[in-house]
Amino acid sequence: MANHKSALKRIRSNEAKRLRNKYQHKTTRNAIKKLRDMENKTDAEKLFPSVASMIDKLAKKNIIHDNKAANLKSGLAKHIATL
């Protein structure tokens, strides 16, 4: 167990950040799945900017790697183009 006040605070803040990151990551993954399951091209094109924004935010906060974000966005763009 931590002995210093600052270490106890760091434990609390790390847990809060972990839960927030987990929520944002899961929400983004669900949005990606929803986009991949779409059959209508116009609906997919409307949803794509918001999903790309969510992916960019995860990369900016280092929840996912920048290259993974780029690969996800590229794959989704290709998927929409083939609809």
Residue 12 to residues 6, 31, 46, 49, 81: CA-CA distances in angstroms? 10, 29, 39, 34, 45
Residue 14 confidence (pLDDT): 97
Residue 17 falls within a domain, yes or no?
no
Proportion of the chain above pLDDT 90, given as a percent: 96
Mean pLDDT, rounded, for 72-78: 97
- Statement: residue 1 has pLDDT above 90: no
- Statement: residue 3 has pLDDT above 90: no
Q: What is the tally of helices (H) and strands (E) in the chain? A: 3, 0
Residue 2 confidence (pLDDT): 82
For residue 58, give its domain range.
Answer: 24-82
Residue 32 falls within a domain, yes or no?
yes
Residue 3 falls within a domain, yes or no?
no
Residue 8 falls within a domain, yes or no?
no
- Statement: residue 19 has pLDDT above 80: yes
Give the torsion through C-alpha atoms of 55, 63, 30, 16, to 10 deg. -130
- Cα separation of 35 and 82, whole Å? 13
Residue 48 confidence (pLDDT): 97
3 state SS of 30: helix
Structural domains counted in the chain: 1
The model's pLDDT over 35-67, given as tens digits with 9 standing for 90+, comes to: 999 999 999 999 999 999 999 999 999 999 999
